[in-house]
Amino acid sequence: MAFIFSIFLFVITGAFCSAVANEKGYNAFWWFILGFLFNLVALIAVVGMPDRKLRKYIRQIGEKQNAISPEPDYETDAPYLDKNEKPLTPEERKEMIKSLGKKKN
């Protein structure tokens, strides 16, 4: 009887983990497995994770209102460079640092 009750409790904990993970934009299947195996620890972990859907929604609102710059495409562009800009050589960096130091004085 205790075995059936514990399995029932594991399934319920897995279902709660799955539901919370799905609402936050994470893989529900894997969180069900983690909730089934690790019970309350997994439930606490998934509750503490950031909400992916909310972050994406807030970023889209900010980009539409021009409050923040669009997220760079890290696979094709370096985030700190324009598309036509080349990386600086070490000599160019040293000269730039010297010129910036002279402006402050």
Question: What digits encode the pLDDT tens for the residues 53-104?
Answer: 888 888 888 888 887 777 766 555 555 555 556 677 888 877 887 887 765 5
Look up residue 42 and give its amino acid.
Answer: A
DSSP string, 52-70: HHHHHHHHHHHHHTTSSPP
CB-CB contact of 42 with 21 (8 Å): no
Report pTM.
Answer: 0.60
| Domain edges within the chain | 2-104
CB-CB contact of 63 with 40 (8 Å): no
